[in-house]
Chains A and B, each alone.
Chain A
Amino acid sequence: MTTISGWGRYPIGDTEIISPRTADAARRATAAGDQAIARGNGRAYGDAAIGIRQTIALCHLNRMRAFDPTTGRVTVEAGLLLSDLITTFLPRGFFPYVVPGTDLITVGGAIAADIHGKNHHSEGGFGRYVDELLLALPTGEMLLASRDEHPDLFWATIGGMGLTGIILEATISLRPVETGWIRQRTIAADNLAAAITALQSCESVTYSVAWIDCLASGGRLGRSLIFLGEHAASDQLDEEQAVNRFPLRKPSLSIPIDLPYFVLNNWTVAAFNEFYFRSGARKSTSFTLLPVHSYFFPLDAIGNWNRIYGRRGFLQHQSVLPIKNAESTLAEMLDRIAQRGGSSFLAVLKKLSQGSGPLSFPMPGYTLALDFPIARDVFSFLDELDELVVAASGRLYLAKDARQLRATFEGGYPDMSSFRELRRTIDPGRRLQSRLAQRIGI
């Protein structure tokens, strides 16, 4: 038995870890699974990748299988890290269509959570760029699923949180890029309404995301910096960048110890936010060129940044609210957060479109992502936020969840019947089960 947790370091669970070395070994482990779930690089925040009895770690399935440079289609094993994919293909002029805030996640995990990036409003989620999946089913079968073959299973697996079989290999499409640079523009929004208007009016920009100052209140409630980005073309690079058309990642720093819980408090976070907002607002007129890593994965520059929240860990609360209810509900949520002063260091607002699979998180609307260090009152506080979310017909992101109540899940994902029916068919013996699935009754 091994004790593991997700990236938020809450909750922790004891599980047997099985580490197959080959696709066939993973198939056998799935067929013999005892309430098992697949695990990639452990970056889901909560308990999505902790099995009840067994956890099947896919980190050794990290080989690339085939690549077609004319179409940009690549077939890889599911345990391959996005960072590995980017290091290999960026110098050849290809980049994943969808990347989240870290590239230290596996391709299998990206599919299972149907992850979204800063371009979800314009280009959809990771699932949209998946062409084919090689799945190991609890029956011991290995089968290929795509839009044409076993389409129900294919779509249910996208965003299916690993509950429809174990992804062994995936064929995905990569985006041709001329450079490894992003042309960024920043817009300063003085309040929530301005932030939403800005995100709305920049619909056609490929990448957009807003950083929100969660401690601002009153007339400045929801003040934000909106970061817009496009892949830079070769002729948009300065001389200095043109020499280094595909910049590589710099070596990262690391947080070597758990910071004491008092390092992040209302005063330190408020001071940081004030500084950050002002410096962002100052830069807001011009374009800046950033390497893809700095634009998409700023936190990866600090290894183990989760330790900044101390040993007790932290909770991530990411909700999405349908467009018509978004502004009023967001205002109410932000108001409560500002009043409580929960030192949410990272708060992100972004526009989403429709998700791909039946259990995919995204829906047309606005998503708000917040971090909360674990504290005594945080659970009941987040339950209150959840009530606002469900009342507004919104839902929570399962890959980040560690604590939502069953009722919140039922309210957020009302039509689970076909997903559950599919699960009953392919996994009658319940070989696949995660702590998340058991907790909220997926």
Chain B
Amino acid sequence: MRRFGRFGKITGLVAAASVVVLALGACGSDDGDDGTAPAASGTAAAKSIKVGLAYDIGGRGDKSFNDSAAAGLDKAATGLGVTKTELEAAEGETDAQKEERLRQLADAGNNPIIAVGFAYATALGKVAPEYPDINFAIIDDATLVDVPNVASLTFAEEQGSFLVGAIAAQATKVGNIGFVGGVNTPLIQKFQAGYEAGAKAVKPDIKIQVTYLTQPPDFTGFNDPAKGQTAAAGMYDSGADVVYHAAGGSGGGVFTAAKSAGKLAIGVDADQYLGAAADVQPVILTSMIKHVDVAVYDMVKSAVDGKPLTGAKVYDLKVGGVAFSTSNSAVSPYTAMAEDYQKKIISGEIKVPTTPTS
């Protein structure tokens, strides 16, 4: 009888542990669910084209770079009727594992396959030649321009940032503006470089505060609104009245800080004025739009049309790959000068630097 009593206690403990674990597990598995549901709800137009998308760490739902790519994919799925398969990178993985992801997408019959983020460059460089009949694209990298079945889709972030820098310099009343970068990488430094150049073109003696939320390999700076808020609040406290963020999902915190300080902020990637809550909208003066969604859509469209993109394609001001938004009417006094700069950049009269001088 005693034995039974003990056994009962053990099973009870195990059961209790299982319940706790199960509860934890249920929480963990929730947010990933929508990321992988294959949606094939298109018209019959596209002859069963299967698009594979390999996200960087964070995947769909990062409210940033990956989401922008996802938006382009969704548009293609509904508008062009293609089937989509999405895979996501894991933390701590190697190039071999990225290669494996691309190979699995290729083996599953996806064509085209789009790799989101420069981290895929090495892996794609190995995989693409193994599948000469499949078209690949990579976002934010141009090291594979010589591989015939790879389209390198890059953006002139510095050009768009130059224009919002020019807007910020006009909008500031005190000659003091700020830049919040998500993660200190060469890519985000391009945003900073353009912004600083644009602001200095308007006001050569302007004071520009710069901060980065995290250092690689800590990429949480792209998804940490609390850090963004602290950083921006610090800048407003030190006298800035316009802050531009290139910090992905952390940008929400920058807007919150702008709202409580009664100052202005500039969004990034998408037209963030449109996505913001009504009470936050007034502080979002403009946004530097980076059309990752357009690049993804273009790639899928070109494949549906039977002429898949290859080689280098730079989404710059000229082709509308980057732009500043005008949905907030408060920006209208400053757009004339920005458009003037835009013309000069497109004509080549102004060369925008890609690395910060400071």
- A and B are interacting partners: no
> Which residue numbers of A lie inside 8 Å of B, CB to CB?
none
